[in-house]
Structure formats: C-alpha cells, structure tokens
Structure 1
Amino acid sequence: MYRTLATVCCLALLTACASTSHDEEIAAPAIAVDTPGSAPPEPTPLPERPIPESSVYPLILAEFAMRRGDYNTALDAYLEQARVLNDAGVASHATHLAQYLRRPAQSLEAVQIWLELEPDNVEANNTAATLLAGQQRPLEALPHMAVVARSDVQANFPLLLQGFNQIPPPQQAQLVAGLNELVQEFPLDPALLMTQALIHAEFQQFPESQAKLDTLFTVDPLQHQALLLEARIRLNQQEKKPFRHIEAVLQDNPEDTRLRLEYAKLLTNTDMAAARQQFEILSAQSPEDADLLLSLALINRENGDDLVARAYLNQMLALDARSDEAHYYLGRIAEDRDEQSDAVRHYQQVSDGRQYLAANQRLGQILIESGQFSQVMDWFNGQRTAVPDRSEQLYNIEADLLSSAGYLGASREVLNRGIAAFPDSTALRYARSMVGEQQNDLVQMEADLRAILAHDPNNATALNALGYTLTNRTNRHDEALTLISRALELDPEEPAILDSMGWVLFRKGRVEESLSYLTRAYAAFPDPEVAAHLGEVLWANGDKESATRVWQGALLKDPNHPVLLATLERLGVSTTLRTLPGTEVAPQQ
C-alpha cells in the first residue's frame, strides 16, 4: 500500500512545487468545444514554480526512503521541507505520514503548517482537533471542530472530553461555554448534543443529561452511545427497568449486533444471566465469531458452569480462532478440577501472545509443586530458545517460582544466568537482591541495588529496598534515612515507602514522627508487616491497647505471617494474643 502512496506523494509534491505560486493565481482552464475531426486542444500551460535547489535532494531522499520502507527518514525530510517550502501539499504528506507512524508531536507540527496555508481545509482542521483533543487540549481543539461542523461534515465533539475530569475547573467551564455557543449555531447536531449530555452526566446532573438525550433521539433515535448513556443514568438512579429503551430498539432492530454487543457488555456488570442470553443471541447470529465464544466461555466460567465454558473454548479450538486464549482458560478450568496433567498440556500450547507469560507461570508452578524440578528447567530453557524476545521475563518467572517455593539457591542460579545474558536488567538484579537478602547475603543484595541506582538514580523502589534493608539488618540508619527520604520525594504516597520511613525514624528514636508515617502507611495498605511495625511503635510508646487492636486485625487477615509472628514473639506478647477468639497463632517452628 505504501509503495503506491510514496509514488503518489512524490508526484503530487513535485506538481505542487512546480505549478503553484504563493503570489500568482492559477488561471481557470478554457472550456474547449469538442468539434468532430478537430485535433485535441492543447492543454493550458500552468505557471511554473521551480523547486529551490536546496530542496531537490531532500525531496528525492524522502521519495527513496519511502520506497525502501524507511518511513522515519522520509518523515523527517518531508517535515523539514514543509517548514522550508511553506507548501500545503508537502505539509499534508508529512501529516499523513506522521499519523501513520503514530508520532503525534510531528503530526501536530505538520498539520499546523498545513493550516497556516489552508486555514479552511476540513481534513486539516479535523486532524488538528483530533490531535489536540488527544493531548487533553480541548479549548484549542474546539475552534477546529467548529470549522469541521460548518462544512457539513459530522464533527466528533465527544473527543473533546478525553480526560475531561483531569483538566482544571476553569478550563472545564470555558469548554462548556464554548460548546453552549456552538449549540446556538447547531441546535440539532447529534454529536454536540451527545457531548453536552456526557458533561451533564459527569457532574451528576442527570435530568439535564436526559433532556439532551431526548432531543438527540428526535434526530437520531438509534444513536448507540446515547442509548448506553441513558441506560447508565437510569442504573444510577436505580430505576426498575433501566434498559427498557435499548430493549425496545433491539426488538425493532434485532440485527443491530453492535448495539446488542454493547448492551451485553453493560449487563455483565449487573446481571450475568441476562448478559449470557444476549451473547447467546449474538453467537447464534455469528456462530464462528471467536470473540463471542470467548465471552460466553468466560461468563459461564464466572457462573460456575465449567462444562459449558469448556464447550465454547473447544469450539474456538475447532475453528482455530483465538486458540491461545482457549488453551489458557481450558488450563485454568483443568487446574480448578485438579486435572493437573491436562492443565499442563493446555498451557504448553499457548504461544507468544497476551496469555503467554501467565501460562508459563502457572505451568511452572504446577511442575514445582509436583516436584518436577528438572522438567521446570528444561521447559524454561526450551522456551527461551523458542521465544528469545521473552527470555528476560522467563528468567524472572522461573526464579520467582523457585524462590516462592523456598528454593533460594536454585532461584539465585537462574538469576545469575539471566543477569549474565541481560546485564542491564533492572528486574533481574532487583529479584536477585531480594533473594540475597533472604539468604542473608547483604553484600550481594546491596551490590545489585547499587548497580540499579548507578544506572537509574531515581529508582524509588531500589532506594526504598536498600534503605529498608539497611534499617532492618544493619546499624547504618543515617544512610538508610537518606535513601528512604529520597524515595519518598519521588513517590510520596507509596505505602511501602511510608512504612520504611516510619520504621527508620523509630530505629533512630524519633517515635512521634514514626507514628505519623506508619499510621498513613497502614491506612493506605493494611498489610501484616506494616501492622507489625505500627503495633511495635505503639507498644513502645505505651499505647498497648492500640497496638493489640492493630495486631489482632493483622492476625485475622494472616495468622501465620512471619514478620508479624516474629515481632510478637520478640516482644513477648504472642501468648496474650493466642487466646483471642479468631486469632489463634500457629505454633512457632
């Protein structure tokens, strides 16, 4: 497709440069009378504009780059010449190519040059509006949308609401005012009415939103987005039959599969049985649609009907459509039914795609739990050979499975091999640092975290991990405080970092400050380890009643958490909590 476009672009470009002038008007061609026997009329010569000598080579370079498929080089050349030549043809080519390459900054630059030369061009205005809306600059996009609307082309006004709740309120107000002005000009524009309805719904102004929808339905009674918004409004207002309008439209238009699909998806949030019914209608209409079969399989699995789910998944396999998902979910069902060999067989057939890593993780877990360690190694080695682009992730999965099962030495060997293959891998080095900490090899732990920080000084996770370990396992508390403080600057609301800050402050004797951080951490993330820290600080501060309540809650969540149990044992309070109802602590090993 793009070889043809390259030739067209080049011809159009050279024609535009050679035949137009910014200060000359093109004469209207004379109308010739076709007289029998007369010779074809000579074409009216067009005024010529020579290509500047400095632009000839860049334009030829762009043409040959397009022919080679080197679109980035072509775009750079076209964009440069668009700036130099001030030619609408060149600017439009640069815009189209930048959009094809999904380079929004260059697309916007090119289309702005195009608009300077052709401010009323509908395509250019529509492109600029779309790009600006995508960058959450709706106020700049709105005038371009208005140009499109005035050309009798339907403008996509709802695009202006991308990220609407994230722009400052004054800008929201300006956008609403601008839309209201346009409604005076286009009172029955369906996209404009839809946009206003969406804004009213965003502000919980449901009657006003419904009023806009009612007007819209007089213009376009089958507008899908409007029907779905109306249903959501009625759901929010807890009406007894929130989907009655959609159901009436589908009754009259049973072949409207797109609306039925959106309706079915909406039902999955409220009524799985009704959703399944709609998906079954869709599947009957399109029996070989793998997307619908997968939806039906997942809905039936959600409803606990694995037999029907398997039937749909096997139907996908028979059609050879979305086979990876089919094998993955068949593996999940087999696991649930304790049919581990079948699960492994299905996971092994998942090829590189969305489910690939998850399938490998589950397969490896089954093999490790059944003691098949050599098979684990053989499988992951084979996968790294078969899918080399996934090697780094596969090393990480294999090592994580081994360390989670308590095989720290084997996990570290896998990570050593992974880091030898990927020496700049932050993920593998971080994983090895955590294994090193578990093995009490703090030298290795610190070396790996320091290596990460040498490459990425602002890695908040590595800063926090090193600071927390130095707090917990050494007396280097001043150094730990510096590291954790830097991590907190980078990520001030992260509960793990708040916990580390509270813990290091406690270790430095700054109890009141410590409580502030630990309380915030526990409120955001009530993890048993955070509970252990908060409880210990409360206990040390004399508030044993509050400490006990915190520990009780954590024990109810995880009665065998190692850090929590070690804390209680060290403080001599585990026997007290052991007798509390529902918080029996397992015997210490």
Structure 2
Amino acid sequence: MLLKTTTSIGLLLALSACASQATKEKTNPEQLQGIVVPSAPSDPLNMRADADFHFIKGDVFSREGKPARAIEHFEKVAKLDPNAATVYMRLSAEYKKLKKTKEAILNAEKAIEKDPKSVEAHFVLGDLYSSEKSYDKAIAQYNAVLRLQPNNSDAAINVGSLYAIQKDFKKAEQYFDTLLKNPKFDIPYLVHYYVGLMRIDQKAPKYELAAETAFKKALKVKPDFEDALVSLANLYLQQNNTKKALAVCEDFQKNQRFSTKVSEMIAQIYIDDGDLNKAYGQLDYISSNAESTFDAELKMALILIKNKKLSLATEKLNDLVTKFPTEDSARYYLAAVNEESGDAKNAIQNYLQIPAKSEHYGEAMVHAAYLLKGQGKINHALTLTSKVLNENSDPQVYIMHASLLEAKKDYATAADVLEKGLTKYTDNTEMRFQQAIMLDRMGKKQPMITQLKKVLAQEPFHVQSLSYLAFSLAEMNQQLPEAEEMARRASELSPKDGYVLDTFGWVLFKQKKFSEAVKVLEKAYEYQPSASIIAEHLADAYSMQSQAEKAQQLYKKAAGLTKDEIRASKIRSKIQNPS
C-alpha cells in the first residue's frame, strides 16, 4: 500500500516564446523569379494561442472522462511546445486512465527530461513503476523526490514500504526506524502503521504481537486513524478474537469521528456472528451518516430477506432502485424478492431490466426464463436464453436452455447444447448430470451411465447422480448390490428428500427386500405425498407384503396424481391385478 501524490497538475501551460526577427530588407520582385520562397515562420502568438486552445480542450475532455480525446489535444500541445513538462504530465495521467502504463511511464520520463527538478513528475513515475512491480526503479524515483524535498514524508514512507514489499524486512525496519528518529518527520503515525503491515506480512506468530503494538502506537499518535484501527481489528479477527475486534471498533465509533469503514466492520462482525438485528441497526446508523449509503441500505434489504420480511424488503429495494437507478444489484434482488413472493410478473420485468454488462446478468436471465417456463411460455423463454448464450457463457444459461428444449421434448438438441457447454466447463458436474438425463430421455442408457460415473468420479457425493444411477440400474435389473450401495449413500446424504428415498426403496424392492422397502418408501411418501411415482412404488411394496387394502388405496391416489393418461391407465390396471 503506497501513498499517492496529492499535488494537482496546473491547468495553465507555460509555453516558451519563440521570436523571429522580421527581415527589414526589401527585395526586388524580379529577384524572386525562378526561386522557391520558403513559407514565413509561424507567428509565435498564433502558436501560443493554438497551444492554449488545445490544452483547454484536452482539459475539458479529461474532466468529462474521455482520456483518448484528451490525449489527442495534449499531443498537439506537445508538438507546438515540445519543451513543456506540464503537458507530458497530463499525457501520462490520461494514459494511466486508459491503463496504458507503458505510455504513461514514457510521458512521465519525458516530463522529468524537460524538468529534472519536478517533484510531481518523480513522484508520479515512482507510482507508475510501483504499479508495474518495478520496485527498484520506483525507489529511485522516490529518492529523487527526497533529494529535492528531504522532508517529503509521503516519498519516505513509500521507500520503506517498497523495501517491505520486496521482503527486505531488515532494510525496511532500519529505514522506518531512521524516520522515527528524524525530528522533522511529521507523520510518525504512518510509520507505525506501515511497520504493523510489514509485521503481518512476515507471517509468524511472534510478529503478530509486534503488529498489534505498532497499530496501537499509530492510534496513540493519531486516535482517529481509521486505517490503523481497521487493520488492528482485522488482526484480532484473524486470531479468532471477535470480542477484541468488536471492542476496539465500538470504542473508536464512540470516541472518534464517524467512519464508514469502522461501522461497516462492526456490521459485518454482527452478520458473521448471526446477530442480524444488531447488524441491521449498525447499517441503519451508516445510512444515516455516510455520504454514500447504497451498500449499507442494500445489506439492510438482504437482512430483511433473510428474516423473511419480504414486504419490508420489497419496500426498501424499490426505494433503492429509485434512488440509485444505475445500481443493478438492487433491481436484481428486488426481482428475487418478487419471485419468492410469487409475483412472477414483476419478477420477470425486473430481471429483464438487468443490463448485459452486469455481474448478475446471466443469473437474472436464467431466473426470467425459469419463470416464463412456469407460465408455459417456452418459446419466449427459449428466445431469451438463445440471446443470452451469445452474450454470456454462464453455465446455468446452458442448463436452463437445455431444460427448455427438454420441455419441448427436443432431447437431442438439448444434449448438443449441454455438450457445447461442457467444452467450456469440463468440470461442471451439474451440466454433465443434466446431459446424462437427456441421454436417458433418448434411450441411450450406456452413454447415460458413463456420464453419471464421470460426475461421481469428480464429485463422489453428488446426491442426484447417485440416486439417478441407482434407479436406472434398478430399472435395468443390473448391478443391484452396487445400486443399493449408491442409493443408501444418497439417502444418508439427503435423508428428507422423498425422491432420493424412493430410489433407495425401489432398489430394495427390486432385490425382493420387501419389508425394508416398505419402511423406506413410507418415509419417501411422507416427505413427498403428491408424487405419483412414490405412491405407486409404495403400493407395489404393500402388494408384495399382502397389504392389499393399502395397496388399492395408494394405486387410486397414484393414478389421480399423474397427468399422463397412459401411465394413469397402467396404474389403475393394478387395482384389480396388483403385481
């Protein structure tokens, strides 16, 4: 962490005047015949006017956040007066905005070439070298600043910090110690702070106490030094001493000026400890005192969501969307609350307003497509996911697009989409699992088994794959002992999932372990009483245990729970002829 120069670059450019003496001799026009007359030298006043014009234009574009346009004009100034150090500084600053560090460095070097005594230029060049991790070159520039201004505290701190960054802790310690002994050094609290950071970087228990001592010394000299306080609190948190971290933060908050950093740390400690009510109060305190309140208010909304206070969360998020229209996080969470509240219309509307550049874009489009699918608008949802696939490579987009194709029974295309996704996300087990399902839908049992085994090789406790593979093997009457082991493992991992328990019960049934199967299937039915397949399986188990009355009742219920008339007819046939 280095200090950055705070000196502003002047807005006016000192241009060197170049004067030319006009010839006083008159020439006979006849003497000019056949002779090429050179153009008259540029008027110095016009050159100065042009330079001023382009400098002002460059400055305007710079202020408007258009560095490329600013560079065009500053370069014209440099051509008009190549000896002006200030314009090279401006060029360096604009190139830095464009993250063109090489060009920024070259222009800072030119500025120093034109004005070797420019503290500003040496400092800026030091910062640029430091950003490129050219630490020795950076130190040389900060030392150049110190030669020009021996008491420049910022440059001195940066030299010591760079020694520490290079892990030359002994040299850094000696340097910092020299600074503290210098009576003209006016910011000793910063030295203590950087010593503390250096001690933490040394990563040994014996240095943690030294770091704590250094941060406390910094706070003794400057009690309102929030960076030192936050670093001290973080040190305590790293030591799992939440009580101490909270105590120093609350003491700072009570006795010093308002600090957003410190208040946010207090709120986060409460959140991590699960005390959401105190966290909410602290965030409310931040929103009443901080200049920028979005982060605090968003966290307040998320706490309301966590506490299932959805109407209050909706109100808070609507307010944030109004106050901060460009903050797409607020709209995304508003859509999520709409969805959880069952307000699909507003949820879809808000999800679709999330811009493509947003980190939430892919997820938002997946949710919108899911809701559209729930409304039976499969084609609309497919249009959306098709568009998103061309803009966003989020794996969930591939999975959702395939699920929409599955709903249209276009299993082959769905499998192709997932295959394409797996070329980008070879380790995505959820995508591979969905591909296995598509292969199963197409009747490709062996490729389906291969894909499921790949998932389990990568993620042995993938519950859905364990259960699906076990059920498939049971239906094929293959490797039943292996299927039982997988189904048992899945049921242990997810003991309240009715479908997982149904698989386990069905594998037992297939092995004629009817008594065990009944017990497991009864639990499955208890957790998922509206699942036709589970009711049918339990009825089959009752039938094999000579519990005909129970079996008949469940067959009737199973038939009534399915919308597939062919399947319902098959179930009803068991009422008179139980297997």
TM score, norm. by length of structure 1? 0.57
Most deviating of 446-455 and 85-94: 85-94
> Is it true that 1:464 corresponds to 2:375 in the alignment?
no
Deviation of residue 117 (structure 1)?
13
Q: Give 1:72 shift.
A: 2.9
Conservation of the 8 A alpha-carbon contact between 2:414 and 2:438: yes
CA contact (8 A) 1:81 1:90 kept: no
CA distance in 1, matches of 2:524, 2:214: 49
> Within the alignment, does 1:415 sit opposite 2:347 as a pair?
yes
CA distance in 1, matches of 2:140, 2:86: 22
Q: Which residue of 2 aligns with 1:72?
A: 67
Q: Paired residue for 1:477? A: 411
Matches within 5 A, 1:501-520: 501-515=435-449, 517-520=451-454
Aligned equivalent of 1:261, options 187, 193, 196: 196
1:7 aligned onto 2:12: yes
Q: Which residue of 2 aligns with 1:168?
A: none
Equivalence map 1:12-31=2 (5 Å):
12=15, 15=16
Q: Does 1:499 align with 2:433?
A: yes
Rate the CA distance shift 1:378–1:322 in 2: closer, same or farther, 3 A.
same
1-structure distance, mates of 2:85, 2:479: 71
Shift of 1:397: 1.9
Q: Which amino acid aligns with 1:466?
A: M
Alignment of 1:165-244 (within 5 A): 223-225=163-165, 227=167
In structure 2, do the counterparts of structure 1 residues 282 and 549 end up closer, same or farther at CA, with 3 Å as the change threshold?
A: farther
Question: Are the structure 2 counterparts of residues 421 and 58 from structure 1 closer, same or farther at C-alpha, using a change threshold of 3 Å?
Answer: farther
What does residue 102 of structure 1 align with? 96
What residue in structure 2 maps to residue 320 of structure 1?
257
Question: Cα gap change, 1:495/1:265 in structure 2, threshold over 3 Å: closer, same or farther?
Answer: farther
Task: Give the corresponding residue for 1:588.
Answer: 527
Structure 1 position 103, deviation (Å): 3.6
In 2, the alpha carbon distance for the partners of 1:269 and 1:586 equals 56
- 1:402: how far off? 6.3
> Does residue 1:385 correspond to 2:322, yes or no?
yes
Letter in 2 for 1:476: D
Could you list the per-position Cα deviations for residues 398-430 of structure 1 after superposition, in whole angstroms to 9, with x for gaps in the alignment?
443565xxx3513x3442452576576874684
1:457 CA drift (Å): 0.8
Runs of 5+ unmatched residues, structure 1: 21-47, 157-219, 232-244
- Once the two structures are superposed, the pairs formed by residues 535-554 of structure 1 within 5 Å of their partners are 542-544=478-480, 547=483
Paired residue type of 1:7: L
Q: How many aligned residue pairs are there? A: 460
Match of 1:488 among 412, 422, 439: 422
SS at match of 2:387: helix
Secondary structure of 1:5 counterpart: coil
Query: Quick one: structure 1 residues 78 and 490, their matched pair in 2 at CA, closer, same or farther if it must change by over 3 Å?
Result: farther
Structure 2 residue 296 is matched with structure 1 residue 356: yes
* 1-structure distance, mates of 2:338, 2:272: 20
Indicate the RMSD between aligned Cα atoms, in angstroms: 5.8
The one-letter amino acid of 2:192's match is T
**CA positional deviation for 1:443:** 3.8
How far apart, CA to CA, are the structure 2 residues paired with 1:510 and 1:387? 52
Q: Tell me by how many angstroms 1:477 deviates.
A: 0.9
CA contact (8 A) 2:466 2:487 kept: yes
What residue is the counterpart of 1:213 in the other structure? none
Output aligned runs, 1:64-143, within 5 Å: 64-66=57-59, 69-70=63-64, 72=67, 74-78=69-73, 81=76, 85=79, 88-89=82-83, 93=87, 96-100=90-94, 102-104=96-98, 108-109=102-103
Is the alpha carbon distance of 1:54 and 1:281 closer, same or farther for their aligned partners in structure 2, counting shifts above 3 Å? closer
Is this contact kept in 1: 2:370–2:400, CA < 8 A? Answer: no
- Equivalent residues of 1:283, 1:293 under 8 A apart: yes
Aligned to 1:459, the other structure's residue is in SS state: coil
Q: 1:335 touches 1:343 (CA, 8 Å); kept in 2?
A: no
**For 1:490-547, what per-residue CA distance to the aligned partner results, in whole angstroms no more than 9, with x for missing partners?**
4444444333334433433445544555455445555434544565567678455555
Amino acid corresponding to residue 5 of structure 1 in structure 2: G
Q: How far apart are the structure 2 equivalents of 1:435 and 1:91?
A: 56
Q: 1:308: how far off?
A: 3.7
Query: Over residues 364-389 of structure 1, what are the superposed CA-to-partner deviations in whole Å (9 max), with x where a residue is unaligned?
Result: 23441xxx443222222223333333
- Alpha-carbon offset, residue 290 of structure 1: 2.0
Structure 1 residues 169-228: Cα deviation after superposition (integer angstroms, max 9, x where no partner): xxxxxxxxxxxxxxxxxxxxxxxxxxxxxxxxxxxxxxxxxxxxxxxxxxx999424557
Could you tell me how far apart the structure 1 residues matched to 2:436 and 2:169 are? 46
- Matched with 2:331 is 395
Q: CA deviation at 1:480?
A: 0.7
Q: Note the alpha carbon deviations across 1:533-563, whole angstroms, 9 max, x for none.
A: 5655676784555555555555555444577
Q: Could you say which residue in structure 1 is the equivalent of 2:311?
A: 374
Partner of 2:550: none
Q: Displacement, 1:588?
A: 1.6
Provide closer, same or farther for how the CA distance between residues 512 and 587 of structure 1 changes in structure 2, counting only shifts above 3 A.
same
Equivalent pairs: percent with the same residue? 11
> Could you list the per-position Cα deviations for residues 7-35 of structure 1 after superposition, in whole angstroms to 9, with x for gaps in the alignment?
12xx34xx38x589xxxxxxxxxxxxxxx
Aligned to 1:38: none
- The aligned residue for residue 441 of structure 1 is 374
2:384 match: 451
Identify unmatched segments of 5+ residues in structure 2.
Answer: 1-5, 21-40, 145-159, 182-187, 529-579
Quote the Cα distance in structure 2 between the aligned partners of 1:99 and 1:578. 76
- For the 8 Å contact 1:464–1:487, the answer to whether it is kept is yes
**Which residue matches 2:568?**
none
Relative to 1, partners in 2 of residues 1:228 and 1:336: Cα closer, same or farther, differing over 3 Å? same
Measure the CA separation in 2 of the matches of 1:578 and 1:229: 70
Look up the SS of the partner of 1:394 in the other structure. helix
Given that residues 304 and 310 in structure 2 are in contact (C-alpha distance below 8 angstroms), is that contact kept between their aligned partners in structure 1?
no
Letter in 2 for 1:393: S
Match of 2:227 in 1: 291
The normalised TM-score by structure 2 is 0.58
User: Does the C-alpha gap of structure 1 residues 522 and 446 become closer, same or farther in structure 2, counting only changes over 3 Å?
Assistant: farther
The Cα shift of 1:99 comes to: 3.0
Which amino acid counterpart does residue 383 of structure 2 have in structure 1? R
1:330/1:459 Cα in 2 relative to 1: closer, same or farther (>3 Å)? closer
Structure 1 residues 228, 573: closer, same or farther in 2, change over 3 A?
farther
Code of the residue aligned with 1:260 in structure 2: it is: V
Instruction: Specify the alignment match of 2:564 in structure 1.
Output: none
